[in-house]
């Protein structure tokens, strides 16, 4: 990926179980940091200018797309996903940063 940072964007589209979400957050944060992720923003949007979801969104910077994908597949993050289960619906995207 040539030294271009990558950004993990996790947007919740539905939350069905707040307790499972809270446990997921407790596990997912340390898993992302252990994999080299740096949290840039997280929480409910301050403003929704387009679209309908005003639910939790997280932006995490990684050194590369490969590092972000590896974080997703790491045993620690997979444990967090197992805890979340069907407690929420999300969309996760990884974008390459702009090399300016």
Q: What confidence tens digit (pLDDT) does each residue in 38-89 have?
A: 999 999 999 989 988 789 999 999 999 999 999 999 999 999 999 999 999 9
Q: Which domains does the chain have, with CATH numbers?
A: 6-96 (3.30.70.100)
Nearest 10 degrees: Cα torsion 18, 22, 29, 43: 50
pLDDT for the residue numbered 52? 80
* pLDDT at position 99 over 90: no
User: 0.75 cut: is pTM over it?
Assistant: yes
**Has residue 2 got a pLDDT over 70?**
no
User: Which pLDDT belongs to residue 3?
Assistant: 66
| Chain center to CA of 7 | 9
Could you give phi then psi for residue 81, rounded to 5 degrees?
A: -65, -40
pLDDT of residue 1: 41
């Amino acid at each position: 990926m040539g030294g271009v940072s990558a950004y993990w964007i996790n947007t919740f589209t539905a939350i069905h179980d707040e307790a499972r979400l809270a446990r997921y957050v407790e596990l997912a944060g340390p898993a992302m940091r252990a994999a080299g992720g740096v949290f840039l923003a997280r929480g409910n949007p301050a403003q929704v200018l387009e679209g309908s979801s005003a639910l939790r969104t997280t932006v995490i910077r990684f050194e590369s797309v490969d590092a972000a994908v590896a974080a997703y597949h790491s045993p620690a993050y997979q444990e967090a996903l197992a805890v979340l289960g069907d407690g929420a619906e999300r969309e996760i995207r990884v974008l390459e940063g702009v090399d300016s």
